[in-house]
Amino acid sequence: MSRVVKLAVIPGDGIGPEVVAEAEKVLEAVTAQSDVVFDKTRFSLGAARFLETGDTLTDDDLAAIAAHDAILLGAVGGTPGDPRLKDANIERGLLLKLRFTLDHYVNLRPSKLFTGAPGPLSNPGEIDFVVVREGTEGPYVGNGGAIRKGTPQEVANETSVNTAFGVERVVRYAFDLAERRRKKVTLVHKTNVLVHAGAIWQRVVDEVAAAHPDVSVDYLHVDAATIFLVTDPSRFDVIVTDNLFGDILTDLAGAVTGGIGLAASGNINPDGAFPSMFEPVHGSAPDIAGQQKADPTAAILSVALLLDHLGLAEESARVSAAVETDIAARSAARTTAEIGSAIAARL
């Protein structure tokens, strides 16, 4: 009896379809001899679909996607400055709407410097940490507005909303993860300035820490954290932080570990009430779309996270190992498909 996993695939815009094709290639290769079958449904969503139909993500789309066991997403977003997209916010209307509606409260972003990966640091040391970014609240809620818009008297507010419920569940996840790793959690925030948002994060971390006496706990202001990411990234094991700081830190972390072309992520609903979604950290890069120039590794490593989330730990480890070997062997420039095929061939 084989296990059937219903997978929603959202290739998206720009380089999204190219990297997702390679991720699917690898998924097929790694499950070829196993008894798991991925039953895939393709969803055509993103800027291109919006331009055709005017829809970003309908209730029907949402319901159909939610009926799957997991989601694989490439990248969404049209060409910056495209006047036809001026009033469409594909990021909020599609990507964030999926994360919020499907209650992806853990945005999991591992950072590992693979041997042979090109990085900007002259002396990176060993880098192997995970950012646990809150995914459903904070400054991302869209809570705000403006008065006297467009005038010299305009005032525009944007409110970060932080709940004990929301902070606690992601902090618990971070400590549980740290228990299975090097047992170190670093809270990153800006508690000395954002005193209201900062206080709730600090309180909850203190409380959860008390239940994990074997996990050492550290605090860094977000500005100081960016310094350590380039001067001493080995110090980190698990970073827990809010939605915005997590966004910033993980792009920087991607850059120091060989570029955003290698950075994978999972938008996770640990409770299993909704399907989790796996996607590269990078965007749709319309400037290089359709040219087979994109590195599909981030999408492929997102498949590894997806497999792990589904309890397919062995398959996940095999994908990671194949990527690791491939990176170590990289030399000449290869196309998107060549990289995907090379990794698939190692499985």
Q: Footprint of a copy of itself on this chain (CB under 8 A)?
A: 80, 89, 91-92, 96, 120-123, 139-140, 142, 144-146, 148, 150-165, 168, 190, 192-200, 203, 219, 222-224, 226-227, 230-231, 244, 247-248, 250-252, 254-256, 259-260
- Which one of 128, 176, 218, 251 is the catalytic residue? 251
For residue 172, how many other CB atoms are within 10 A of its CB? Answer: 18
- Rg of the chain on CA atoms, in Å: 20
Of 95 and 170, the one with the shorter C-beta distance to ligand IPM is 95
* Start-to-end Cα distance in the chain: 23
Residues 183-222 as x/- pattern, contact with ligand IPM by CB under 6 A: ---------xx-----------------------------
Q: Does 147 bind ligand IPM (CB under 6 A)?
A: no
Q: Is residue 46 a known part of a binding site?
A: no
288 marked as part of a ligand binding site: yes
Question: Any residues with CB less than 8 A from the CB of 104 and at least 6 apart, and which?
Answer: 98, 135, 136, 267, 268, 269, 274, 276, 277
The dihedral region occupied by 142, where left means phi > 0, alpha psi between -120 and 50, and beta the remainder, is: left
Given the complex with a copy of itself, which of 243 and 269 has the nearer CB atom?
A: 243
Which of helix, strand or coil describes residue 70? strand
At residue 43, φ and ψ (nearest 5 deg) are -115, 125
Query: Is 103 a catalytic site residue?
Result: no
Catalytic residue among 13, 190, 237, 326: 190
> Is 271 designated active site?
no
Site string for ligand IPM, 241-270 (x = CB under 6 A): ------x-----------------------
Q: Which residue has the tokens 């950072």?
A: 111
* Neighbouring C-beta atoms of residue 283, cutoff 10 Å: 18
* Helix, strand or coil, per DSSP, at residue 217: strand
**Exactly one of 61, 69, 237, 247 is catalytic; which is it?**
247
Give the H/E segment covering residue 277. Answer: strand 276-280
Phi, psi of 241 (to 5 degrees): -160, 175
| Residues 65 to 124 in contact with ligand IPM, rule: CB under 6 A | 91, 95-96
What does the DSSP 8-state code read for residue 93?
A: I
290 is in an annotated binding site: yes
Is 69 in the active site? no
Closest separation in Å from C-beta 331 to a copy of itself: 19
Nearer to a copy of itself, 9 or 289 (CB): 289
Partner touching 127 among a copy of itself, ligand IPM, none, CB below 5 to 8 Å by kind: none
Distance of closest approach, residue 299 Cβ to ligand IPM, in angstroms: 13
List, in sequence order, every residue forming a beta bridge with 109; answer none if it has no partner.
Answer: 131
Residue 251 is among the residues annotated as catalytic for this protein: yes
135 Cβ neighbours under 8 A, 6+ residues apart: 99, 104, 105, 106, 107, 170, 243, 267
- Annotated catalytic residue 223: yes
User: CA 224, CA 221: separation in Å to the nearest integer?
Assistant: 5
Residue among 246 and 266 whose Cβ is closer to a copy of itself: 246
Look at the block and give the residue holding tokens 């008390």. Answer: 210
Catalytic entry in 25, 69, 140, 242: 140
Q: Which is nearer to a copy of itself, 128 or 218 (CB)?
A: 218
Q: Which is nearer to ligand IPM, 15 or 30 (CB)?
A: 15
Contact 190, 198 (CB under 8 A): yes
The catalytic residues are 140, 190, 223, 247, 251
Which residues sit at the interface with ligand IPM, rule CB under 6 A?
Answer: 91, 95-96, 192-193, 223, 247, 281
Residues making up the annotated binding site for Mg(2+) are 223, 247, 251
Residues making up the annotated binding site are 99, 109, 133, 223, 247, 251, 283-295
